[in-house]
Amino acid sequence: MKKMLSIIALGLLVTGCASIMTAEQAAPELNKPLSDKLAIAVVDHRPYVLNGDKEASFEGLSRSGFGIPFSRYTFNNKPMSEFLTNRLAAGLIKTGIDVSSLETTPQTKIEDVKSQDAKTVIIVLNEWKYDYHAFTDNSWYDFNVLIKNKSGEVLINKKFIGEQDVPSLTSNDIQLLYKARFEQAFKDPEIKGLL
């Protein structure tokens, strides 16, 4: 019995007792938009999701010591579009505005995404993944931020591309990467001016 308790205690010490951050905890810190109401949508147009090679919840790859890749997915197996929409919506709600989330699929066409009640912010994922190995790691993003007015006219379509190191494969560290990307995008003066 003592041996079993020691193993459990050692396991807790090594893995930690940290819990996975909620959407609200992982939400980006955003400036309060000028609008009092917004709609938000993330559209996953990553090529490997569109062609069915990877599931919509695909997050990235981790590799064995021999370099063999294994697919990894969002911790709750939600599609990446829903996973990110929830975090963005939570960040906007924290600013005190009314936010509605629009559901999308990889087959959703950008021209079909809009709200007749509010401006719509659309994030289009062109690339969004990581490749983690003990000796090297990278995380890539390539996404567009579109803002449409109530009639569906595109007010801005701005691209953000970059590469980041992956500190670890813990869900919280990955979510912090996502949070920082969106904070950078929403600080863009052109985007801030249209919200």
Predicted confidence (pLDDT) at residue 21 exceeds the cutoff of 60: yes
Would you place residue 28 in the very low, low, confident or very high pLDDT band (cuts 50, 70, 90)?
confident
Would you place residue 132 in the very low, low, confident or very high pLDDT band (cuts 50, 70, 90)?
confident
165 CA to centre of own chain: 16
Longest CA span, the chain: 68
Predicted confidence (pLDDT) at residue 100 exceeds the cutoff of 80: yes
- The reported pLDDT for the residue numbered 2 is 44
More confident residue, 3 or 88: 88
Query: Each residue of 140-184: pLDDT tens digit?
Result: 999 999 999 999 999 999 999 999 988 887 889 899 999 999 999
pTM for the whole structure = 0.85
Instruction: Report the relative pairing of strands 154-164 and 137-148 from DSSP bridges.
Output: antiparallel
Q: What is the mean predicted confidence (pLDDT) over 128-147?
A: 90
3-class state of residue 30 by DSSP: coil
Question: Is the Cβ–Cβ distance between 92 and 166 less than 8 Å?
Answer: no
Would you place residue 30 in the very low, low, confident or very high pLDDT band (cuts 50, 70, 90)?
confident
Predicted confidence (pLDDT) at residue 37 exceeds the cutoff of 50: yes
The CATH class given to the 21-194 domain equals alpha beta
